[in-house]
Amino acid sequence: MRRFIVIIALAILGPLVSACQGTGALDLTPRAEAGASDANATPPANPSASAAQSGGQANALPVAAGDARIQFAPVIGATEEAVTPLSRRLSARAGERGLTLVTESTAATLLVKGYFSTIADDGRTTVIYVWDVLAPTGNRLHRIQGQQAVTGGQGTGWPSVTDETMQAIADRTIDELATWLSRSTG
């Protein structure tokens, strides 16, 4: 049953692309959006975005991979308490992997939008996440998605999500982004 719920959540989160505008490289402060809470989060789909999945590429990278300047937009669906350790670790891990993060959208060659949800099942919580990597034109170039089981938290849902859980998501996100950039050609 738990696996079925996770699959359904990924199917719901899969086609997400929202119209939010980022204001800071790692100002991932959650944006308020109607209906964007836990497993019911369903930001509007963008029909012009192609169906690139994790490991896939929909469009060519607009710059050489080494010249990419990445801006993270505010995330949808996560609490501010969960976003703080995520933001810090994304920044630290990007530095470790040699990725350039920027705070101004005018300086960015790639915009990364994140969508988060939790699923509580049988007293356990799983964080589901989707990151869309967009060109400055708004076309989706790549998608990173996954899930992370919460370990050591109390309760279920967002209150149970630990800093370590969000840091693990940040590490996987930056590692997958760096791998994709290293395989892409401009």
In a domain, 136, yes or no: yes
What pTM did the predictor assign?
Answer: 0.72
The upper half-sphere exposure of residue 20, i.e. CA atoms within 13 Å in the direction of its Cβ, equals 30
- Each residue's pLDDT tens digit, 25-49: 466 766 544 333 344 343 434 433 3
Contact 75, 41 (CB under 8 A): no
In a domain, 179, yes or no: yes
- Each residue's pLDDT tens digit, 108-126: 999 999 999 999 988 899 9
In a domain, 165, yes or no: yes
Classified as helix, coil or strand, 101 is strand
3-state helix, strand, coil in the chain (%, to 5): 35, 25, 45
In a domain, 22, yes or no: yes
Instruction: Map tokens 């930056």 to a residue.
Output: 174
In a domain, 37, yes or no: no
pLDDT at 134 over 60: yes
Measured over all CA atoms, what is the biggest interatomic distance in the chain, rounded to whole angstroms? Answer: 46
pLDDT at 167 over 50: yes
The upper half-sphere exposure of residue 49, i.e. CA atoms within 13 Å in the direction of its Cβ, equals 24
Q: Which domain holds residue 11?
A: 2-31+46-183
In a domain, 41, yes or no: no
Q: In the prediction, which pLDDT does 15 show?
A: 37
**Tokens describing residue 74:** 């505010």
What is the distance, to the nearest Å, from the Cα of residue 25 to the centroid of all Cα atoms in its chain?
Answer: 13
* Nearest-angstrom CA–CA distance, 112 and 72: 5
Mean pLDDT for 127-143 is 96
pLDDT at 84 over 50: yes
| DSSP per-residue letters across 128-177 | EEEEEEE-TTS-EEEEEEEEEE--S-SSSSGGG--HHHHHHHHHHHHHHH
For residue 5, CA distances in Å to 10, 71, 80, 120 come to 9, 31, 25, 9
In a domain, 39, yes or no: no
Q: What is the CATH number of the domain that holds 92?
A: 3.30.160
In a domain, 38, yes or no: no
Q: What is the number of domains present in the chain? A: 1
